[in-house]
Structure 1
Amino acid sequence: MIDRYIDRLLLDSSPQRPLWNQEMIIGNKKPHWNYIDGCMMTAFLTLYEKSFDKKYLDFVDNFIDYFIEDNGSIKSFDIETYNLDNINEGRALYKLHDYTGKKKYRKAIENLYIQLQLQPRTKEGNFWHKGIYPNQIWLDGLYMAQPFYLEYEKRFNNKKNYIDILNQIKNVVKLMKNKETGLYYHAYDSSRDSSWSNEETGLSQNYWLRAEGWFLMALVDILEIVEDKKEELYSFVSKTLLDLIEALIKYQDISGMWFQVVDKIDEPRNYLETSGSSIISYAILKAVRLGIISKEFKPFGEKAFNGICNKYLFERDGEMNLGGICLVAGLGGKDNRDGSFDYYMSEPVVENEAKGIAPFLLAYLQE
């Protein structure tokens, strides 16, 4: 069933119109370099490494090649937006360069790294989430930038900035974690200037499921890259990962999934959401597979994956579909998103969107 779904995604997608990028399709946007496609490239490369079926590697190579010029410049990429989301798709470049040897992929990695060198920072030392969101740390941004940053440091920079990565994660734990629940608020504004931030703490109001997931996925992917358990980065991140998994398990629904706003389990309008549940399933199963956490956690990851299959994976007109995916959620911006429970309930829920599909496939591949 899932293999049929994967085949459909490959057959019906191109850089000009990827089936999984509902933001592009709904908004009628032109092809552009973005984290949504980046999530799918990570999933397809993992499929290749699991199966050694060259169709997956060829698909990713052709897809990414479309955006990369011979000099390493990236179509539609604008460094001056300082958008951490735009770093994520660059993760595919490392493996593509390994597998294909294309020099332009190595050059593109450098272009993305330049952004991180120039990225504005909060007074605490963390990257701004985007240029349009000054002084703000979003959990999303940890996944978008840190694994790429870490991979570069490991491969090309003799781990020079491991301490910077560690300090940015430490700041998130210090500033954004609720010690009582163990959960993390979606975002933090060090200036307290945004309409959504608490005047005293700088924090947003709620625990958005996918934000918890983005952070959790960043942590487990970082641990896979670091590998060396003697590194301080490894020890701190592994403890942070375990603590968050233990906190999230307390809110896991009987179905195996989690709610869009994690702790509001008794709110009738709240709903079980696919992307965040898939990410948590993936992170738990991967952490078990890598020996980072005990095998006793594996049933929680499996229950989440099976719950998603039971509730949201379905066949229609002979084709497989995955539903229950929050299209997008953020804070501030032109729509002045306030981070309230009502706000998170107001965002569209869609089918066949990469933010749900990619972690769902990654969870599937952890066995």
Structure 2
Amino acid sequence: MYNNYGNLQTNWIQLAGDTLINREPNMNLKHKWEYEDGLMLSGMFQIFLASGDKKYFSYIKNNIDAYLDDDGNIDGYSFSEFNLDHINNGKILLDLFEQTHDLKYKKAADKLYNQLLEQPRTPEGTFWHKKIYPNQVWLDGLYMGSVFYGRYLSQFKSDNDLADVVHQFITAYNVTLDSKTGLCYHAYDAKKTQPWANTINGHSPHFWTRSIGWFVMAMVDVLEYIPASNPQRTDILNNLNNLLNALRKVADSKTNLWYQIPDEGDRPLNYLESSGSLMILTAIAKSIRLNYINKDDWLPFLLEGYKQALRQFISVTKENYVNVNKIAHVGGLGGPSKRDGSFAYYMSEPIVTNDHKGVGPFLLLICEMQHYL
């Protein structure tokens, strides 16, 4: 391994945390309320907990405070868009409220929770991904909306059994599952009318690594909030195990990482993609720690995958800044550009560096890996 790529003994927590403070004091130069920033800040919050250094907490607080007033109004947030992506940053609002007890964070979180109460649903009762994507379930949405949903209810609604939260996860898994591979498709159209949708089952044309990464991280996270008394908690746990096992079967055998289209790794143009791979490794690492999966079976796979992730995706500049490389910039379906979900589409999206969709899971992963190294 090249020295400037770092190694397993590198203090990645400090190096990556300091990189963001110094290189990106303002997390979003366009001042948009964007889900990937919440993902990055979730990683920074874990760095704060792992290190105990308050400078990381100050970074989080200062960046979120730039969007809030004292009444919890969120600059750039639109309730009427019914966009699950806009809910993701709510997890940070709850972190800040727990740490500071400042009511503006609770008031802002209340607004996001109230959106979920009115969020349109498919006939199965699953949240639409966005108002502009009617009757569509995207795997991303479980991480964006339903983890916050579960945490909010467990934190503020002691009489709620989280049945609807569980329903979101069970139905999303069922409507996107491919029974042959055990993988879940990127999206599902309940009406089966979208140009990208299979007219028989409503599935999008391909599996997409990052969408599955979002989903397995979401399942791992939400299990912390679902009480053992809920009989369907075991269903989510079983679905998590089944999906991770299916992912393991299509992982690149040389690296224990995943291609942009995970089940077609030998196809020209396909490439090892960092954000989805880092998300899946994060889900595996946290699942081992919380005994959701078997440690003896999974830990060797995780350790090799982490070592290879550092080699394949991470570089360090001469300024000692961490770069997360090989990130698929976006991946979606339909919309104004009529994204068709084809293999050619997923290969056509730009591959970028330091997008927070890749930085965030790297921060989460390095915090999880401290338990094993």
Same fold (TM over 0.5): yes
Query: Residues 310 and 231 of structure 1: is their aligned pair in 2 closer, same or farther, counting only changes over 3 Å?
Result: same
Is 1:278–1:304's contact at 8 Å kept on the other side of the alignment? no
Shift of 1:123: 1.1
Separation of aligned partners in 2, 1:354 and 1:302: 23
Query: Residues 11 and 90 of structure 1: is their aligned pair in 2 closer, same or farther, counting only changes over 3 Å?
Result: same
Match of residue 27 from structure 1: none
Is 2:86–2:144's contact at 8 Å kept on the other side of the alignment? yes
Separation of aligned partners in 2, 1:81 and 1:115: 9
Match of residue 225 from structure 2: 225
Specify which of 25, 46, 58 is matched with residue 14 of structure 1. 25
Match of residue 309 from structure 1: 310
Is 1:136–1:190's contact at 8 Å kept on the other side of the alignment? yes
Match of residue 233 from structure 2: 234
Identity fraction in percent: 40
* 1:342 partnered with 2:341: no
Shift of 1:159: 5.2
- Structure with larger RCO (C-alpha < 8 A, sep 6+): 2
Give the TM-score normalised by the residue count of structure 2: 0.92
1:159-174 superposed matches below 5 A: 160=160, 162-174=162-174
Shift of 1:232: 2.2
Query: Residues 111 and 161 of structure 1: is their aligned pair in 2 closer, same or farther, counting only changes over 3 Å?
Result: farther
- Paired residue secondary structure (2:149): helix
Residue by residue over 1:315-343, the C-alpha shift from the partner in whole angstroms, topping out at 9 and shown as x without a partner, is 34434312111011000000100000110
Query: Residues 39 and 351 of structure 1: is their aligned pair in 2 closer, same or farther, counting only changes over 3 Å?
Result: same
Match of residue 300 from structure 2: 299
Is 1:207–1:263's contact at 8 Å kept on the other side of the alignment? yes
1:322 alignment partner AA: V
Is 2:161–2:230's contact at 8 Å kept on the other side of the alignment? no
1:257-336 superposed matches below 5 A: 257-295=257-295, 296-318=297-319, 319-336=321-338
Match of residue 108 from structure 1: 108
- Paired residue secondary structure (1:137): strand
Residue by residue over 1:168-222, the C-alpha shift from the partner in whole angstroms, topping out at 9 and shown as x without a partner, is 2221222110111010000001112211001111110100000010100100001
| Bigger mean CA deviation after superposition, 139-148 or 165-174 | 165-174
Is 1:256–1:306's contact at 8 Å kept on the other side of the alignment? no
2:247 alignment partner AA: L
Shift of 1:44: 0.8
- Paired residue secondary structure (2:224): helix
Residue by residue over 1:228-276, the C-alpha shift from the partner in whole angstroms, topping out at 9 and shown as x without a partner, is 4332242111111111111100111111210000100110210000000
Separation of aligned partners in 1, 2:324 and 2:158: 42
Residue by residue over 1:119-138, the C-alpha shift from the partner in whole angstroms, topping out at 9 and shown as x without a partner, is 11111111100011011000
1:238-257 superposed matches below 5 A: 238-253=237-252, 254-257=254-257
- The ranges of structure 1 where at least 4 consecutive aligned residues each deviate by more than 4 angstroms after the TM superposition are none
| Bigger mean CA deviation after superposition, 234-243 or 214-223 | 234-243
- Paired residue secondary structure (2:154): helix
- Paired residue secondary structure (1:225): coil
Q: Which runs of 5+ in 2 are unaligned?
A: 1-9
* 1:138 partnered with 2:143: no
Match of residue 49 from structure 1: 49
Is 1:282–1:301's contact at 8 Å kept on the other side of the alignment? no
2:238 alignment partner AA: K
- Aligned-residue Cα RMSD (Å) equals 1.4
